[in-house]
Chains A and B, each alone.
Chain A
């Protein structure tokens, strides 16, 4: 199907091209423009011209060193290697899987040793809890610093601090969920500074977890703030996991 004749009008082409390059065409309007550019070489050329005209604005833009993981991710994607973030997450998760299995074995063994001999109790089967979500939170140097696991039956959140952050007096740690749907950052409450924390979430908080892409931990000067300040000390992808038992 041929494009409407009005798109041959140089003034309209220039207006569309400048708006496209300025970034004010969004969503479906951008897609329509891109389809038009594929069909209309002159329009595409006008866009290239506008890009060249505006490029000098970037001459003095401050450079920002990319994260070390970014090049690795590019290299791995090109060579068909599994995403290093996912690979590293899975390897850390395996560590926790084995650690929790070891802890369970140790608990059972200790329990067996400490229980007084007596009439044989009815055999009990430890109901293994299914882990539903896991997030390994990295610090700003991209080192793992906290691990969060979430289990459904009692909406339990467990947080293990691999390295306890140093807080000053009147500073608080706060946990946040970043929504996958709309990018909103919602509070999951203030955390105690302890190696191992367990807490039950409300239904609303569980919904935030189910919708979260990332979990963040921030340092705040007041407890239970509605929005995080600038001091985010740990971030990690929140991953849904199936069939894991602790």
Chain B
């Protein structure tokens, strides 16, 4: 029997189901249930590690950050509030901020300025393989995707390089051969327009 095609509603139902499951696990972790932590790790560990890898580009460092994040979840699960953010958003944020701290601590930023080819791919000179193009073509939340699509390309790339790949303003400046102040104004303008678009 042919499998019926997946609809947007199915996708949303699954997302809600997963969010409920993760929130339930976080509640159990707040009561110091180690089995719940293991279940959470099995469910989202690979996904969080993938997000850390995009920022750190180093398997050892991303695993360090994943470990630190799960210890933070273990100690602070009681602080999680479902009415303020979805479980995956809360955990991703814990992880991203730790990854950004690690990036600074390891002073990887300086080293990354040498990775010229990778950045050319990100910026889309090699358009077919550009990760940013992939981000925009994928099933990114439609409202965010629409709003990113209408931004000026330079502003949009600066936002994505900073948010998704953890580039500092100085790193972006080096790679696009523009003064840091130009990058600051791209980011300022881009984020302001994104805010307007997302909250009309």
- Residues of chain A touching chain B, judged by Cβ–Cβ distance below 8 Å, are 14-15, 18-19, 21-24, 26-27, 30, 45, 48, 51-67, 69-71, 73-75, 77-78, 181-185, 214, 235
Tell me if B77 is interfacial: C-beta within 8 Å of chain A: no
Which B residues from 45 to 62 make CB contacts under 8 A with A?
A: 45-47, 49-51, 53-54, 59-60, 62
Interface SS, B side: helix
Kindly count the residue-residue contacts between A and B in the assembled complex, taking CB atoms under 8 Å apart. 138
Chain A proximity of B170: nearest CB distance (Å):
9
- Residues of chain B touching chain A, judged by Cβ–Cβ distance below 8 Å, are 34, 37-38, 41, 45-47, 49-51, 53-54, 59-60, 62-63, 66-67, 70-71, 74, 84-86, 88-90, 92-93, 96-97, 100-101, 104, 106-108, 110-111, 134-135, 138-141, 144-145, 159-160, 162-164, 166, 168-169, 187-188, 191-192, 194-195, 198
Interface centre among A14, A18, A75, A182, by most B CB within 10 Å?
Answer: A18
Contacts of B54 in A (CB 8 A): 61
Contacts of A214 in B (CB 8 A): 60
Q: A64-B62, A71-B41 are contacts. A51–B89 as well, Cβ < 8 Å?
A: yes
Chain A residue at minimal CB-CB distance from B85: A48
A45 to B163, CA, bound (A): 19
A48 to B81, CA, bound (A): 11
Q: A23-B100, A63-B50 are contacts. A18–B139 as well, Cβ < 8 Å?
A: no
Contacts of A51 in B (CB 8 A): 85, 89-90, 92-93
Q: B67 contacts A58, CB within 8 Å?
A: no
Q: B51 contacts A58, CB within 8 Å?
A: yes
A214 to B58, CA, bound (A): 13
Q: A60-B138, A60-B140, A67-B63 are contacts. A55–B89 as well, Cβ < 8 Å?
A: yes
Chain A proximity of B7: nearest CB distance (Å):
17
